[in-house]
Amino acid sequence: MGTYESTTMAGIGQRAGVSKATVYLYFDTKEQLLLEILREKLESWFSAIDAALDASFGSWSSDRAAREIALSFEGRRSLVRLLSALEAVIEYNVDVDTLRVFKRWLAGRMTATGQRLERRITFLRPGDGVRILVQMRAFLLGLAVMTSPSPAVERVIADDRTLSMFALDFDREFTDGLRTLLRGYEAGGAAT
């Protein structure tokens, strides 16, 4: 779809083979459409991570859990991009009833997956699974922005080796960050 700013209802209609007016029959705003696309992509991700959690036997270590969760995002960059626009843009341009339905759906999916995490990662306490999903998402969103620099920043980094610390690899940093987060829970650092 390109960037959020470059995505238009006319462009969406053109890619779908329908007129802009037809798109507006189903969605009042671009953000309402993007919210529905996000919901579908999240449903696919939740189904994939739930299947991985359910298919496995025994307890997962923090290292294994970090690897499995990070792997579940492979090939899902559009999901990450949409998530990064959710609170910043999409939710500001969608009506309250649509948001209520979406948030209730999301809360239900997060609760179910959080409980699966707690069953598979035995050092987690009740409620930790959902907290991990929230914290993981915050970390994911920050990394999504930091690992998608502008062309100008890419050039600056490429021209000056002393700036290589800014050339981040999303998959590596996300896995390492999840591992650190989970080790904190394992060590009891997430106690309330």
pLDDT (tens, 9 = 90+) of the chain, 192 residues, equals 556 566 776 777 777 787 767 766 677 778 888 898 999 999 999 999 999 999 978 999 999 999 999 999 999 988 998 898 888 888 998 999 999 999 999 999 999 999 999 999 999 999 999 999 999 999 998 998 888 888 999 999 999 999 999 999 999 999 999 999 999 999 985 544
Paired tokens of 142: 């920050």
Q: How far apart are CA 7 and CA 12, in angstroms?
A: 7
Q: How far apart are CA 10 and CA 116, in angstroms?
A: 41
Burial of 58 (0-12, 13-18, 19+ CB in 10 A): exposed
| Fold of domain 29-186 | Tetracycline Repressor; domain 2 (1.10.357)
